[in-house]
Structure 1
Protein backbone atom coordinates (compact mmCIF):
# COMPACT_ATOMS: atom_id res chain seq x y z
CA UNK A 1 0.00 0.00 0.00
CA UNK A 2 1.09 3.56 -0.72
CA UNK A 3 -0.19 6.41 1.44
CA UNK A 4 0.18 10.12 0.71
CA UNK A 5 -0.57 12.58 3.50
CA UNK A 6 -1.17 16.32 3.07
CA UNK A 7 0.96 16.62 -0.07
CA UNK A 8 1.49 20.24 -1.08
CA UNK A 9 3.50 21.50 -4.03
CA UNK A 10 3.89 24.90 -5.65
CA UNK A 11 5.86 26.09 -8.67
CA UNK A 12 6.89 29.74 -8.90
CA UNK A 13 4.43 30.62 -6.16
CA UNK A 14 1.48 28.85 -7.80
CA UNK A 15 -0.06 26.04 -5.76
CA UNK A 16 -0.46 22.88 -7.81
CA UNK A 17 -1.26 20.44 -4.99
CA UNK A 18 -3.17 21.81 -2.00
CA UNK A 19 -2.90 19.16 0.69
CA UNK A 20 -3.67 15.82 -0.98
CA UNK A 21 -4.19 12.74 1.20
CA UNK A 22 -5.09 9.30 -0.15
CA UNK A 23 -4.40 5.58 0.21
CA UNK A 24 -3.55 3.47 -2.82
CA UNK A 25 -4.36 -0.18 -2.24
CA UNK A 26 -2.30 -3.27 -2.98
CA UNK A 27 -3.39 -5.71 -5.68
CA UNK A 28 -5.77 -3.31 -7.44
CA UNK A 29 -5.47 -0.62 -10.10
CA UNK A 30 -5.59 2.77 -8.38
CA UNK A 31 -6.40 5.60 -10.79
CA UNK A 32 -5.74 9.31 -10.37
CA UNK A 33 -8.08 11.16 -12.71
CA UNK A 34 -8.93 14.73 -13.60
CA UNK A 35 -8.66 17.28 -16.37
CA UNK A 36 -5.34 18.54 -17.70
CA UNK A 37 -3.54 20.83 -15.27
CA UNK A 38 -5.20 19.49 -12.12
CA UNK A 39 -1.97 18.14 -10.60
CA UNK A 40 -2.32 14.43 -11.44
CA UNK A 41 1.19 13.90 -12.80
CA UNK A 42 2.72 16.14 -10.13
CA UNK A 43 1.11 13.98 -7.42
CA UNK A 44 2.42 10.84 -9.14
CA UNK A 45 5.93 12.28 -9.31
CA UNK A 46 5.79 13.31 -5.64
CA UNK A 47 4.67 9.79 -4.73
CA UNK A 48 7.40 8.10 -6.74
CA UNK A 49 10.11 10.48 -5.51
CA UNK A 50 10.85 12.33 -8.75
CA UNK A 51 9.64 15.61 -7.24
CA UNK A 52 9.95 16.45 -3.55
CA UNK A 53 6.75 17.95 -2.12
CA UNK A 54 6.90 21.23 -0.22
CA UNK A 55 4.93 19.61 2.60
CA UNK A 56 3.53 16.19 3.39
CA UNK A 57 4.63 12.58 3.53
CA UNK A 58 4.64 9.50 1.29
CA UNK A 59 4.59 6.04 2.88
CA UNK A 60 5.44 2.76 1.13
CA UNK A 61 3.97 0.03 3.34
CA UNK A 62 4.50 2.25 6.36
CA UNK A 63 8.00 3.48 5.44
CA UNK A 64 8.27 7.25 5.03
CA UNK A 65 10.08 7.89 1.73
CA UNK A 66 11.18 11.42 2.53
CA UNK A 67 12.27 10.75 6.12
CA UNK A 68 14.24 7.61 5.35
CA UNK A 69 18.01 7.61 5.05
CA UNK A 70 19.69 7.19 1.68
CA UNK A 71 19.99 3.42 1.98
CA UNK A 72 16.32 3.00 2.92
CA UNK A 73 15.26 5.25 0.04
CA UNK A 74 17.37 3.18 -2.34
CA UNK A 75 15.68 -0.01 -1.09
CA UNK A 76 12.22 1.51 -1.67
CA UNK A 77 13.11 2.78 -5.15
CA UNK A 78 14.43 -0.63 -6.17
CA UNK A 79 10.90 -1.96 -5.61
CA UNK A 80 9.35 0.65 -7.94
CA UNK A 81 8.53 0.16 -11.62
CA UNK A 82 7.68 3.18 -13.78
CA UNK A 83 5.87 3.43 -17.12
CA UNK A 84 6.41 6.93 -18.49
CA UNK A 85 3.93 8.78 -20.68
CA UNK A 86 6.10 8.62 -23.79
CA UNK A 87 7.48 5.14 -22.94
CA UNK A 88 10.94 6.79 -22.55
CA UNK A 89 12.76 4.06 -24.47
CA UNK A 90 16.36 4.59 -25.55
CA UNK A 91 16.27 5.01 -29.33
CA UNK A 92 19.82 3.72 -29.77
CA UNK A 93 19.10 0.50 -27.87
CA UNK A 94 17.26 -2.60 -29.00
CA UNK A 95 14.08 -3.77 -27.29
CA UNK A 96 16.12 -6.35 -25.37
CA UNK A 97 18.66 -3.75 -24.24
CA UNK A 98 15.91 -1.37 -23.12
CA UNK A 99 14.22 -4.01 -20.98
CA UNK A 100 17.56 -5.24 -19.66
CA UNK A 101 18.73 -1.74 -18.66
CA UNK A 102 17.46 -1.83 -15.01
CA UNK A 103 19.06 -5.25 -14.54
CA UNK A 104 22.40 -3.89 -15.80
CA UNK A 105 22.15 -0.89 -13.47
CA UNK A 106 20.89 -2.53 -10.30
CA UNK A 107 21.76 -6.24 -10.22
CA UNK A 108 24.74 -8.59 -10.36
CA UNK A 109 22.89 -11.18 -12.43
CA UNK A 110 24.82 -13.06 -15.09
CA UNK A 111 24.16 -12.33 -18.77
CA UNK A 112 22.24 -15.58 -19.10
CA UNK A 113 20.09 -14.74 -16.08
CA UNK A 114 19.37 -11.29 -17.47
CA UNK A 115 18.39 -12.67 -20.85
CA UNK A 116 16.09 -15.21 -19.24
CA UNK A 117 14.37 -12.48 -17.21
CA UNK A 118 14.08 -10.16 -20.22
CA UNK A 119 12.54 -12.91 -22.36
CA UNK A 120 10.12 -13.80 -19.57
CA UNK A 121 8.92 -10.19 -19.32
CA UNK A 122 8.66 -9.75 -23.09
CA UNK A 123 6.62 -12.95 -23.30
CA UNK A 124 4.39 -11.71 -20.47
CA UNK A 125 3.48 -8.59 -22.47
CA UNK A 126 3.05 -10.53 -25.72
CA UNK A 127 6.27 -9.46 -27.44
CA UNK A 128 8.25 -12.62 -28.09
CA UNK A 129 10.77 -12.42 -30.90
CA UNK A 130 11.26 -8.63 -31.05
CA UNK A 131 14.47 -8.54 -28.99
CA UNK A 132 16.65 -7.10 -31.75
CA UNK A 133 14.28 -4.44 -33.03
CA UNK A 134 14.82 -0.75 -32.28
CA UNK A 135 11.98 1.44 -30.93
CA UNK A 136 11.65 3.13 -34.34
CA UNK A 137 10.84 -0.25 -35.89
CA UNK A 138 7.82 -1.05 -33.72
CA UNK A 139 4.39 0.51 -33.23
CA UNK A 140 3.35 2.89 -30.46
CA UNK A 141 1.37 0.15 -28.74
CA UNK A 142 4.36 -2.18 -28.87
CA UNK A 143 6.57 0.54 -27.39
CA UNK A 144 4.14 0.86 -24.47
CA UNK A 145 4.36 -2.90 -23.93
CA UNK A 146 8.16 -2.72 -24.00
CA UNK A 147 7.87 0.05 -21.41
CA UNK A 148 5.71 -2.23 -19.25
CA UNK A 149 8.18 -5.09 -19.65
CA UNK A 150 11.01 -2.82 -18.51
CA UNK A 151 8.86 -1.55 -15.60
CA UNK A 152 8.29 -5.09 -14.28
CA UNK A 153 11.70 -6.60 -15.06
CA UNK A 154 12.90 -5.99 -11.48
CA UNK A 155 9.73 -7.67 -10.13
CA UNK A 156 8.54 -4.48 -8.37
CA UNK A 157 6.04 -4.19 -5.52
CA UNK A 158 4.88 -0.81 -6.80
CA UNK A 159 4.00 0.20 -10.36
CA UNK A 160 3.47 3.78 -11.52
CA UNK A 161 1.93 4.55 -14.93
CA UNK A 162 1.73 8.11 -16.27
CA UNK A 163 -0.92 8.42 -19.00
CA UNK A 164 -0.22 4.92 -20.39
CA UNK A 165 -2.75 5.35 -23.23
CA UNK A 166 -1.48 8.69 -24.47
CA UNK A 167 -1.35 8.71 -28.28
CA UNK A 168 -2.87 5.24 -28.71
CA UNK A 169 -5.95 4.21 -30.68
CA UNK A 170 -8.97 2.95 -28.66
CA UNK A 171 -8.36 -0.74 -29.35
CA UNK A 172 -4.70 -0.57 -28.35
CA UNK A 173 -5.63 1.49 -25.29
CA UNK A 174 -7.96 -1.27 -24.10
CA UNK A 175 -5.20 -3.82 -24.60
CA UNK A 176 -2.75 -1.75 -22.52
CA UNK A 177 -5.37 -1.20 -19.82
CA UNK A 178 -6.09 -4.92 -19.57
CA UNK A 179 -2.39 -5.74 -19.47
CA UNK A 180 -1.81 -3.33 -16.57
CA UNK A 181 -4.80 -4.81 -14.72
CA UNK A 182 -3.67 -8.40 -15.30
CA UNK A 183 -0.10 -7.73 -14.17
CA UNK A 184 -1.30 -5.83 -11.09
CA UNK A 185 -3.53 -8.69 -9.96
CA UNK A 186 -1.10 -11.44 -10.98
CA UNK A 187 1.82 -9.99 -9.01
CA UNK A 188 -0.30 -8.33 -6.28
CA UNK A 189 1.35 -4.96 -6.92
CA UNK A 190 0.30 -1.55 -5.71
CA UNK A 191 -0.37 0.17 -9.03
CA UNK A 192 -1.09 3.88 -9.53
CA UNK A 193 -2.26 5.02 -12.98
CA UNK A 194 -2.64 8.67 -13.98
CA UNK A 195 -5.22 9.13 -16.74
CA UNK A 196 -7.92 11.43 -18.08
CA UNK A 197 -9.41 8.63 -20.21
CA UNK A 198 -12.87 7.68 -18.96
CA UNK A 199 -12.74 4.45 -20.95
CA UNK A 200 -9.76 3.43 -18.80
CA UNK A 201 -11.66 4.40 -15.67
CA UNK A 202 -14.59 2.15 -16.55
CA UNK A 203 -12.34 -0.70 -17.73
CA UNK A 204 -9.85 -0.96 -14.86
CA UNK A 205 -10.74 1.66 -12.21
CA UNK A 206 -10.87 -0.41 -9.04
CA UNK A 207 -10.04 2.56 -6.78
CA UNK A 208 -10.27 6.12 -8.12
CA UNK A 209 -9.05 9.48 -6.82
CA UNK A 210 -10.41 12.56 -8.59
CA UNK A 211 -8.43 15.82 -8.51
CA UNK A 212 -9.75 19.25 -9.44
CA UNK A 213 -7.62 22.39 -9.23
CA UNK A 214 -5.10 20.70 -6.96
CA UNK A 215 -7.68 19.37 -4.49
CA UNK A 216 -8.96 15.83 -3.98
CA UNK A 217 -12.68 16.24 -4.52
CA UNK A 218 -13.82 12.61 -4.70
CA UNK A 219 -12.63 9.06 -4.03
CA UNK A 220 -14.39 5.77 -4.76
CA UNK A 221 -14.98 2.96 -7.27
CA UNK A 222 -16.01 2.94 -10.92
CA UNK A 223 -19.44 1.65 -9.87
CA UNK A 224 -19.90 4.66 -7.58
CA UNK A 225 -18.56 7.28 -9.95
CA UNK A 226 -21.67 7.52 -12.13
CA UNK A 227 -23.84 8.26 -9.09
CA UNK A 228 -21.65 11.02 -7.67
CA UNK A 229 -23.18 14.35 -6.62
CA UNK A 230 -19.84 16.20 -6.92
CA UNK A 231 -20.42 18.79 -9.62
CA UNK A 232 -16.82 19.03 -10.85
CA UNK A 233 -16.59 15.23 -11.13
CA UNK A 234 -19.87 15.04 -13.03
CA UNK A 235 -18.65 17.72 -15.43
CA UNK A 236 -15.49 15.69 -16.03
CA UNK A 237 -17.23 12.34 -16.34
CA UNK A 238 -20.26 13.21 -18.41
CA UNK A 239 -18.42 15.33 -20.94
CA UNK A 240 -17.74 11.94 -22.44
CA UNK A 241 -20.75 10.82 -24.47
CA UNK A 242 -19.98 7.18 -23.77
CA UNK A 243 -20.43 7.86 -20.08
CA UNK A 244 -23.80 9.49 -20.71
CA UNK A 245 -24.91 6.30 -22.43
CA UNK A 246 -23.50 4.22 -19.58
CA UNK A 247 -25.43 6.20 -16.96
CA UNK A 248 -28.62 5.88 -18.98
CA UNK A 249 -28.24 2.10 -19.21
CA UNK A 250 -27.57 1.94 -15.43
CA UNK A 251 -30.72 3.94 -14.72
CA UNK A 252 -32.81 1.75 -17.05
CA UNK A 253 -31.48 -1.36 -15.34
CA UNK A 254 -32.32 0.09 -11.90
CA UNK A 255 -35.90 0.86 -12.97
CA UNK A 256 -36.65 -2.64 -14.26
Structure 2
Protein backbone atom coordinates (compact mmCIF):
# COMPACT_ATOMS: atom_id res chain seq x y z
CA UNK A 1 0.00 0.00 0.00
CA UNK A 2 1.39 3.37 -0.99
CA UNK A 3 0.78 6.45 1.20
CA UNK A 4 -0.19 9.95 0.22
CA UNK A 5 2.74 12.34 -0.05
CA UNK A 6 1.92 15.98 0.55
CA UNK A 7 5.28 17.63 -0.20
CA UNK A 8 7.16 19.99 2.12
CA UNK A 9 5.76 21.50 5.30
CA UNK A 10 7.23 22.82 8.56
CA UNK A 11 4.31 21.91 10.78
CA UNK A 12 1.88 19.08 11.52
CA UNK A 13 -1.75 19.20 10.49
CA UNK A 14 -3.94 20.97 13.03
CA UNK A 15 -6.87 18.89 14.19
CA UNK A 16 -9.57 19.35 16.80
CA UNK A 17 -11.65 16.60 18.43
CA UNK A 18 -15.38 17.24 18.82
CA UNK A 19 -17.73 15.39 21.15
CA UNK A 20 -18.10 11.67 20.47
CA UNK A 21 -21.00 9.55 21.63
CA UNK A 22 -20.54 5.88 22.52
CA UNK A 23 -20.95 4.80 18.91
CA UNK A 24 -18.52 7.55 17.83
CA UNK A 25 -20.86 8.89 15.18
CA UNK A 26 -20.80 12.50 16.39
CA UNK A 27 -17.46 13.68 15.00
CA UNK A 28 -16.35 17.23 14.30
CA UNK A 29 -15.17 18.80 11.08
CA UNK A 30 -11.54 19.10 12.22
CA UNK A 31 -9.52 17.51 14.99
CA UNK A 32 -6.37 18.02 17.01
CA UNK A 33 -4.22 15.38 18.66
CA UNK A 34 -1.84 16.12 21.51
CA UNK A 35 1.06 13.79 22.16
CA UNK A 36 1.27 12.45 25.71
CA UNK A 37 4.39 13.24 27.69
CA UNK A 38 6.76 10.73 29.26
CA UNK A 39 6.00 7.65 27.16
CA UNK A 40 7.47 4.42 28.50
CA UNK A 41 9.02 2.00 26.04
CA UNK A 42 7.39 -1.30 26.97
CA UNK A 43 9.42 -3.30 24.45
CA UNK A 44 12.85 -3.75 26.00
CA UNK A 45 13.91 -6.40 23.49
CA UNK A 46 15.32 -5.53 20.11
CA UNK A 47 12.73 -5.37 17.35
CA UNK A 48 13.06 -7.99 14.62
CA UNK A 49 12.06 -5.99 11.55
CA UNK A 50 11.95 -9.14 9.42
CA UNK A 51 9.11 -10.47 11.60
CA UNK A 52 6.96 -7.37 11.07
CA UNK A 53 4.39 -6.68 8.35
CA UNK A 54 4.89 -3.63 6.12
CA UNK A 55 1.61 -1.78 5.63
CA UNK A 56 2.88 1.36 3.85
CA UNK A 57 6.04 2.95 2.49
CA UNK A 58 7.30 5.81 0.36
CA UNK A 59 10.59 7.09 -1.05
CA UNK A 60 12.02 10.58 -0.75
CA UNK A 61 15.07 11.83 -2.67
CA UNK A 62 17.56 9.90 -0.57
CA UNK A 63 15.45 8.06 2.03
CA UNK A 64 12.88 5.30 2.25
CA UNK A 65 10.26 5.44 5.01
CA UNK A 66 8.33 2.29 5.92
CA UNK A 67 5.45 1.72 8.34
CA UNK A 68 5.36 -1.74 9.94
CA UNK A 69 3.18 -3.58 12.47
CA UNK A 70 3.27 -6.92 14.29
CA UNK A 71 0.44 -8.42 12.24
CA UNK A 72 -2.40 -6.01 11.46
CA UNK A 73 -4.09 -2.98 12.99
CA UNK A 74 -7.42 -3.18 14.80
CA UNK A 75 -9.55 -0.87 16.96
CA UNK A 76 -7.46 -0.95 20.13
CA UNK A 77 -4.14 0.18 21.61
CA UNK A 78 -1.59 -0.65 18.90
CA UNK A 79 2.16 -0.43 18.37
CA UNK A 80 3.46 0.88 15.03
CA UNK A 81 7.08 0.94 13.86
CA UNK A 82 8.52 3.51 11.47
CA UNK A 83 11.76 2.57 9.71
CA UNK A 84 13.99 5.07 7.90
CA UNK A 85 16.73 3.85 5.57
CA UNK A 86 18.73 5.16 2.65
CA UNK A 87 17.95 3.89 -0.84
CA UNK A 88 20.34 0.94 -0.32
CA UNK A 89 18.51 -0.16 2.81
CA UNK A 90 21.05 1.09 5.35
CA UNK A 91 19.63 2.61 8.58
CA UNK A 92 19.37 6.41 8.72
CA UNK A 93 19.84 7.65 12.27
CA UNK A 94 19.67 11.04 13.99
CA UNK A 95 16.47 11.91 12.16
CA UNK A 96 14.10 14.48 13.66
CA UNK A 97 10.77 12.66 13.37
CA UNK A 98 7.34 13.70 14.62
CA UNK A 99 3.87 12.26 14.00
CA UNK A 100 0.18 12.25 14.80
CA UNK A 101 -2.86 10.16 13.90
CA UNK A 102 -6.31 11.27 12.72
CA UNK A 103 -9.48 9.55 11.55
CA UNK A 104 -10.67 10.99 8.22
CA UNK A 105 -14.40 10.32 7.81
CA UNK A 106 -14.86 12.48 4.73
CA UNK A 107 -16.84 15.54 5.80
CA UNK A 108 -15.77 14.95 9.42
CA UNK A 109 -12.65 13.89 11.28
CA UNK A 110 -11.45 13.19 14.80
CA UNK A 111 -8.32 12.14 16.60
CA UNK A 112 -7.38 9.58 19.21
CA UNK A 113 -4.83 9.04 21.99
CA UNK A 114 -1.21 8.54 21.01
CA UNK A 115 2.19 8.65 22.69
CA UNK A 116 5.49 10.24 21.60
CA UNK A 117 7.85 8.26 19.43
CA UNK A 118 10.50 6.10 21.05
CA UNK A 119 13.81 5.94 19.15
CA UNK A 120 14.87 2.27 19.19
CA UNK A 121 18.06 2.91 17.23
CA UNK A 122 19.13 1.74 13.74
CA UNK A 123 16.59 4.07 12.14
CA UNK A 124 13.60 2.40 13.84
CA UNK A 125 11.00 4.35 15.82
CA UNK A 126 8.18 2.99 17.94
CA UNK A 127 4.79 4.72 17.96
CA UNK A 128 1.84 3.80 20.18
CA UNK A 129 -1.71 4.87 19.35
CA UNK A 130 -5.22 3.98 20.48
CA UNK A 131 -7.58 3.51 17.56
CA UNK A 132 -10.94 4.28 19.16
CA UNK A 133 -12.87 2.94 16.17
CA UNK A 134 -12.28 0.96 12.97
CA UNK A 135 -12.15 2.42 9.47
CA UNK A 136 -15.65 2.76 7.99
CA UNK A 137 -16.42 1.73 4.41
CA UNK A 138 -17.26 4.59 2.05
CA UNK A 139 -16.64 7.17 4.78
CA UNK A 140 -13.43 9.09 4.10
CA UNK A 141 -9.88 7.76 4.03
CA UNK A 142 -9.97 6.20 7.49
CA UNK A 143 -7.07 6.44 9.93
CA UNK A 144 -4.03 8.39 8.73
CA UNK A 145 -0.56 8.60 10.24
CA UNK A 146 0.97 12.02 9.52
CA UNK A 147 4.75 12.19 9.85
CA UNK A 148 7.20 15.10 9.57
CA UNK A 149 10.91 14.43 8.93
CA UNK A 150 13.49 17.01 9.94
CA UNK A 151 10.72 19.63 10.17
CA UNK A 152 10.52 19.86 6.36
CA UNK A 153 9.20 16.67 4.73
CA UNK A 154 5.53 16.05 5.47
CA UNK A 155 4.13 12.57 4.75
CA UNK A 156 0.79 10.86 5.27
CA UNK A 157 0.22 7.10 5.42
CA UNK A 158 -3.15 5.35 5.20
CA UNK A 159 -3.59 2.88 8.06
CA UNK A 160 -5.79 -0.20 7.50
CA UNK A 161 -7.58 -0.38 10.87
CA UNK A 162 -10.25 -3.10 11.13
CA UNK A 163 -12.67 -3.96 13.92
CA UNK A 164 -11.01 -5.85 16.78
CA UNK A 165 -12.16 -9.47 17.20
CA UNK A 166 -12.71 -8.87 20.91
CA UNK A 167 -13.40 -5.44 22.40
CA UNK A 168 -10.13 -3.97 23.68
CA UNK A 169 -10.89 -0.23 23.79
CA UNK A 170 -14.23 0.83 25.28
CA UNK A 171 -15.47 4.34 26.18
CA UNK A 172 -17.27 4.92 29.47
CA UNK A 173 -18.75 7.93 31.18
CA UNK A 174 -17.24 9.06 34.50
CA UNK A 175 -18.24 11.52 37.23
CA UNK A 176 -15.31 13.93 36.91
CA UNK A 177 -13.57 13.26 33.59
CA UNK A 178 -16.44 12.84 31.17
CA UNK A 179 -15.91 10.15 28.56
CA UNK A 180 -12.87 7.98 29.23
CA UNK A 181 -11.39 5.43 26.82
CA UNK A 182 -10.32 2.28 28.67
CA UNK A 183 -7.92 0.05 26.72
CA UNK A 184 -7.11 -3.49 27.81
CA UNK A 185 -3.66 -4.57 26.62
CA UNK A 186 -4.19 -8.33 26.87
CA UNK A 187 -4.09 -10.30 23.60
CA UNK A 188 -7.22 -12.14 22.49
CA UNK A 189 -5.80 -15.45 23.71
CA UNK A 190 -3.85 -16.02 26.94
CA UNK A 191 -2.64 -18.99 28.97
CA UNK A 192 -4.00 -20.24 32.25
CA UNK A 193 -2.57 -19.01 35.53
CA UNK A 194 -1.75 -15.73 37.23
CA UNK A 195 -0.41 -12.98 34.97
CA UNK A 196 0.00 -9.25 34.61
CA UNK A 197 -2.94 -7.29 33.24
CA UNK A 198 -2.35 -3.80 31.82
CA UNK A 199 -4.66 -0.95 30.83
CA UNK A 200 -4.37 2.57 29.48
CA UNK A 201 -6.86 5.34 30.33
CA UNK A 202 -7.36 8.48 28.25
CA UNK A 203 -9.82 11.31 28.64
CA UNK A 204 -11.54 12.93 25.68
CA UNK A 205 -10.96 16.64 26.30
CA UNK A 206 -12.02 18.62 23.23
CA UNK A 207 -8.71 19.14 21.42
CA UNK A 208 -6.75 16.33 23.08
CA UNK A 209 -6.86 12.89 24.66
CA UNK A 210 -4.71 13.31 27.80
CA UNK A 211 -3.75 10.26 29.87
CA UNK A 212 -5.52 9.81 33.20
CA UNK A 213 -3.81 8.83 36.44
CA UNK A 214 -5.04 8.44 40.05
CA UNK A 215 -7.70 5.87 39.21
CA UNK A 216 -7.97 2.26 40.32
CA UNK A 217 -9.12 -0.24 37.71
CA UNK A 218 -11.05 -2.93 39.56
CA UNK A 219 -11.21 -6.24 37.69
CA UNK A 220 -13.42 -9.30 38.06
CA UNK A 221 -12.58 -12.27 35.83
CA UNK A 222 -15.59 -14.50 35.27
CA UNK A 223 -16.14 -17.74 33.36
CA UNK A 224 -19.73 -17.62 32.05
CA UNK A 225 -19.91 -21.28 30.96
CA UNK A 226 -18.91 -22.49 34.43
CA UNK A 227 -20.54 -19.72 36.48
CA UNK A 228 -17.47 -18.87 38.58
CA UNK A 229 -14.65 -16.39 38.90
CA UNK A 230 -11.14 -16.82 40.25
CA UNK A 231 -9.10 -15.92 43.36
CA UNK A 232 -5.95 -13.85 43.84
CA UNK A 233 -6.72 -11.03 41.42
CA UNK A 234 -5.30 -7.56 42.04
CA UNK A 235 -6.77 -4.28 40.81
CA UNK A 236 -4.70 -2.37 38.25
CA UNK A 237 -3.12 0.72 39.80
CA UNK A 238 -1.60 3.77 38.16
CA UNK A 239 1.99 3.59 36.93
CA UNK A 240 1.84 7.11 35.52
CA UNK A 241 1.13 8.52 32.06
CA UNK A 242 -2.25 6.80 31.84
CA UNK A 243 -0.81 3.31 32.31
CA UNK A 244 -2.19 0.82 34.85
CA UNK A 245 -1.00 -2.60 35.91
CA UNK A 246 -2.56 -5.36 38.05
CA UNK A 247 -2.80 -9.13 38.27
CA UNK A 248 -5.42 -11.47 36.82
CA UNK A 249 -5.75 -15.21 37.45
CA UNK A 250 -7.36 -17.58 34.94
CA UNK A 251 -7.82 -20.95 36.67
CA UNK A 252 -8.88 -23.04 33.67
CA UNK A 253 -9.12 -23.05 29.89
CA UNK A 254 -12.11 -21.70 28.02
CA UNK A 255 -13.92 -18.39 27.36
CA UNK A 256 -13.67 -15.78 30.12
CA UNK A 257 -14.78 -12.20 30.56
CA UNK A 258 -13.08 -9.48 32.56
CA UNK A 259 -15.52 -7.10 34.19
CA UNK A 260 -13.99 -3.66 34.73
CA UNK A 261 -15.04 -0.71 36.89
CA UNK A 262 -13.18 2.54 37.54
CA UNK A 263 -12.69 3.76 41.10
CA UNK A 264 -11.25 6.95 42.55
CA UNK A 265 -10.61 7.45 46.27
CA UNK A 266 -12.52 4.26 47.00
CA UNK A 267 -15.65 5.37 45.13
CA UNK A 268 -16.92 3.85 41.90
CA UNK A 269 -16.90 6.62 39.27
CA UNK A 270 -17.57 4.78 36.00
CA UNK A 271 -21.20 4.98 34.95
CA UNK A 272 -21.35 1.40 33.70
CA UNK A 273 -19.44 -1.84 33.96
CA UNK A 274 -17.17 -2.70 31.04
CA UNK A 275 -16.83 -6.28 29.82
CA UNK A 276 -13.76 -7.54 27.92
CA UNK A 277 -13.87 -11.11 26.45
CA UNK A 278 -10.75 -13.28 26.70
CA UNK A 279 -10.06 -16.77 25.38
CA UNK A 280 -7.89 -18.84 27.74
CA UNK A 281 -5.95 -21.65 26.07
Return the TM-score normalized by structure 1. 0.24
Higher strand share: 2
